[in-house]
Amino acid sequence: MTKKQKKMLARILVAAVLMIGLHFVPVSGAARFLLYMIPYLTVGYDILLKAWKGIRNRQVFDECFLMAVATVGAIALALYEQSGDYTEAIAVMLFYQIGELFQSYAVGKSRRNISELMDIRPDYANIETDGTLTRVDPDEVETGSVIVVQPGEKVPIDGIVVEGNSTLNTSALTGESVPRDAKAGDEIISGCINLTGVLKIQTTKEFGESTVSKILDLVENASSRKSRSEEFISRFARIYTPAVCYAALALAFLPPLVRFLALGLSPDFGTWVYRALTFLVISCPCALVISIPLSFFAGIGGASNAGVLVKGSNYLETLSQTKIVVFDKTGTLTRGVFEVIGIHHNQMEEEQLLEYAALAESASSHPISKSIQKAYGKELDRSRVTEIREISGNGVTARVDGHEVAAGNDKLMDHLGISCIPCHSVGTIIHLAIDGRYAGHIVISDVVKPHSAEAIRALKAAGIRKTVMLSGDIRKVAEKVAEELGLDEVYSELLPADKVEKVEELIGTKKEKEKLAFVGDGINDAPVLGRADIGIAMGAMGSDAAIEAADVVLMDDDPLKIAKAIRISRKCLGIVYQNIVFAIGIKLICLALGAVGLANMWLAIFADVGVMVIAVLNAVRALFVKNL
């Protein structure tokens, strides 16, 4: 508990002890009144001050005003009737403060869940100068600088490991508890905690543009984007509170006047004022005003803890209504890196074929060339290669160990007049010819992510009606991936503008209350992310433009998190609707009972504070998302 919460708890305990103890003190009159005011003011002085400030600032109608009127009215009524019963007024204020303490603790728990994410903010960066480490502010580190991260320290800025091996704790970013290995050449994002070895990292971004800064900015601004439910509750409270105040005023004076003027009976103001005060306590909208924003706040906190960043409660609400999920292929369902998946040779050993291809491609930085060199896996002796010539759009020719080697596509083979054997495998085919004779071919493909198929199954289990994939790749490759993953529809050979048109077309086919989500990672996905009802970006390796345009960011690029994000949003919205129905239903029943005199102040306390505590405890459930 915070210092402020402990102080409030102490005030509540002191007031409760005094209220109970005064029952055994045989005093009456002014002395009794003064003694009972001690626990009343102990627990309620801040509410009275807030109510007075509201009146002075002409912002009268809030829960503090209702509590002040109800309790001061109850005390005035006890004085008028000379009953000396001030317990109800103290109890109303006491239980209201207990409810406020519950609410404060629940909000604090939600904030702590998000503040765990805030712990990723680095305090410093280590720069090595003349063999010694100097701590500097991360904002002062320029792009391209080499920083040193020691065991136990946070990675302050995105970069590439240039020296060292270690394992990284990424749980604050991704929600994944298993440490990840890092070695020279690996990309590394800020916010991770270095666990074992010393790493030297060459920065690729400034601190303000790094992953950790963007995450913190997203979380800090999330609460500013309100959902329709929150906006409705805010508007409801602005109309509802003045309405019940005027209704209570009418209840206090109209029935007694009717009794006196029309029926000639005693007006009995005391009874009707008591009913009006009870009516006021019952009508206090705390349960709705507090629990609905808290539910969304807890939902965003729980999602953040699971590695899913939701930029606002409005997006959480939209995500819960998603029925169509559209995927980009490369980098989203596939890894976005090419790998050799097959070597088909013609009277030559596989290893030798791959060696010739790797040497011929050794001067190229093209991803396909890199994938062949990676598959070879050995250090290349560039001195063995001469006369390298790259033919744009076709491939390369080179002299390797005195042999003429050509590596490329069908067009290159046609250009050289070499007959090649067609390949029925799906992927990019690199044909190889040595000394004018066909030697075989290598099949290269973008590899499907390990959890992609499971992610599609999880989405369908979560009630997603249609899964679609959009790709700029050739039809054969796109259809093979779609078939492997079990997608409902696939569209291939699309330019970025074509993807926007296709998403608009799909939006036109959905039902009225259904929402369409688009999942992408590349810079060319930004227009589509912005056009969809809800845009989901792959955060860890996704482009800055995609993350900026998206409404939801998955921190570990795992498509399986999409289904989890949808389940989190639906749980959160379910809690919101439960609280709305429960709070309004109980209050309407108790208001009716209070108006006809069947509810006393103790039932009013339950209708106000009891309902608020139950609603707050229900809202806190949105934090717990691990088993979803």
Q: Enumerate the β-bridge partners of residue 176.
A: none
Number of Cβ within a 10 Å radius of residue 258: 12
**How large a percentage of the chain has pLDDT more than 70?**
88
- Can you say how many angstroms the Cα of residue 367 is from the centroid of all Cα atoms in its chain? 33
119 in active site = no
Report the 3 state secondary structure along 395-455.
EEEEEECCEEEEEECHHHHHHHCCCCCCCCCCCEEEEEEECCEEEEEEEEEEEECCCHHHH
**Whether residue 362 is found in the same domain as residue 488:** no
Q: Which of 62, 137, 158, 328 is catalytic?
A: 328
User: Any idea what the CATH number is for the domain that residue 498 is in?
Assistant: 3.40.50.1000
472, 525: one domain: yes
State which residues form the domain around 479.
298-334+449-570
Same domain flag for 467 and 485: yes
The tens digit of pLDDT for each residue in 331-387 reads 788 877 778 888 887 777 888 888 889 998 888 766 678 888 888 888 888 888 888
- 434 and 517 housed in the same domain: no
Residue 165 lies in a domain: yes
- Which one-letter DSSP state was computed for residue 348? S
Whether 395 and 421 map to the same domain: the answer is yes
Q: Choose one of 393, 425, 448: the last residue of a domain.
A: 448
Encode pLDDT of 558-603 as tens digits.
888 999 999 999 999 999 899 888 888 888 888 888 777 787 777 8
Q: Look at residue 46 and tell me if it is in a domain.
A: no
Last residue of a domain, one of 555, 570, 585: 570
Q: DSSP string covering 37-78, please?
A: HHHHHHHHHHHHHHHHHHHHTT---SHHHHHHHHHHHHHHHH
Residues of the chain with pLDDT under 70: 1, 61, 106-121, 171-178, 211-234, 237, 365-367, 393, 522-524, 539-547
- Tell which residue, 320, 321, 246, 240, has the closest CA to residue 285: 240
Look at residue 41 in the predicted model and tell me its pLDDT.
93
448, 468, 486 - which closes a domain? 448
CB 346 within 8 Å of CB 439 = yes
DSSP 139: G
Dump pLDDT digits (tens) for 259-293.
878 777 778 887 888 888 888 778 777 777 777 87
Are residues 502 and 531 part of one domain?
A: yes
Query: For 393, which DSSP code?
Result: T
Q: Is 180 exposed, middle or buried (0-12, 13-18, 19+ CB in 10 A)?
A: middle
Q: Phi/psi at 196 (nearest 5 deg)?
A: -120, -80
pLDDT digits (tens, 9 = 90+) for 30-66: 888 999 999 999 999 998 998 888 888 877 767 787 7
Q: Which two tokens stand for residue 36?
A: 């009972």
Residues 177 and 316 placed together within one structural domain of the fold: no
First to last CA, the chain: 28
Q: Is 448 exposed, middle or buried (0-12, 13-18, 19+ CB in 10 A)?
A: middle
Domain shared by 482 and 524, yes or no: yes
360 inside domain? yes
Does 434 lie in the same domain as 374? yes
Residues 565 and 464 in one domain: yes
Q: What is residue 84's predicted lDDT score, i.e. its pLDDT? A: 74
